[in-house]
């Protein structure tokens, strides 16, 4: 076909530099280390190190780096308690049980606050004031007769006493006597059928029921 488009590559010769002898040797070496890898510390080993092991029990933060086979061999020969007496072994085991951290007894020493307090008679209630016997050594204050006779009433009971025209210190007999008096006074039968005081009667009955529920009447 005349005039048809024909593709003509711009570059017809793409040459690749052949590897040097050093690069070829490195490529053929299966034990060659990759970037970021380190060699095994075992003498004569060229394999990449993937495991670490402590150098000694006195240098636990310093490590050897081994490949897996040499790490397994090193672990078989490792003995943390080698050269230690039986007493040193027990002491080391006790320290390891607490994570090698310092420990102390729960018993108070002679320089503690508990010992100082006991020396001053704190446990016997001496040297301090404990009116509510929070520490077991003080004595509760005796309530006065006025406080013993003082009655704590709530808002409902106080309003009920007000509906019966009584003070807060009214006792049971006074409440019952006033209730009977007001019922007779406000009842329609006592007023010739007049119901003008019926609302007051209902309040008196409700107030008496509230006081009776509170065990005040």
pLDDT at residue 109 is higher than 70? no
Residue-range domain boundaries for the chain: 37-79, 155-213
CATH topology of domain 155-213: Helix Hairpins (1.10.287)
Q: What is the average pLDDT value for the chain, to the nearest integer?
A: 76
| pLDDT tens readout for residues 175-194 | 899 888 888 888 877 777 77
Burial class (CB within 10 angstroms; exposed 0-12, middle 13-18, buried 19+) of 207: buried
Per-residue pLDDT tens for 119-173? 666 555 555 666 666 665 555 556 565 554 556 788 889 898 888 888 888 888 9
Count of Cβ atoms closer than 10 Å to residue 105 Cβ: 6
Q: Is the CA virtual torsion 202, 204, 206, 208 positive or negative?
A: negative
d(CA 173, CA 196): 28
> Which pair of structure tokens corresponds to residue 10?
């711009």
pLDDT of residue 100: 61
């Amino acid at each position: 076909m005349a005039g048809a488009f024909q593709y003509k590559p711009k570059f017809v010769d793409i040459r690749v530099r052949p590897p040097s002898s050093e690069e070829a040797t490195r490529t053929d070496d299966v034990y060659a280390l990759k970037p970021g890898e380190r060699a095994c510390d075992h003498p004569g080993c060229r394999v990449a190190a993937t495991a670490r092991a402590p150098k000694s029990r006195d240098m636990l933060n310093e490590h050897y780096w081994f490949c897996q086979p040499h790490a397994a061999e090193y672990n078989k020969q490792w003995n943390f308690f080698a050269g230690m007496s039986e007493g040193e072994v027990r002491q080391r085991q006790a320290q390891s049980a607490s994570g090698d951290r310092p420990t102390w007894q729960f018993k108070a020493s002679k320089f503690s606050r508990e010992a100082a307090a006991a020396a001053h008679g704190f446990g016997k209630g001496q040297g301090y004031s404990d009116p509510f016997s929070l520490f077991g050594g003080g004595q509760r204050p005796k309530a006065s007769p006025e406080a013993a006779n003082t009655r704590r009433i709530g808002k409902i009971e106080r309003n009920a006493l007000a509906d019966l025209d009584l003070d807060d210190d009214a006792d049971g007999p006074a409440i019952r006597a006033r209730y009977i008096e007001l019922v007779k006074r406000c009842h329609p039968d006592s007023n010739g059928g007049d119901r003008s005081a019926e609302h007051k009667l209902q309040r008196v009955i409700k107030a008496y029921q509230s006081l009776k529920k509170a065990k005040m009447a």
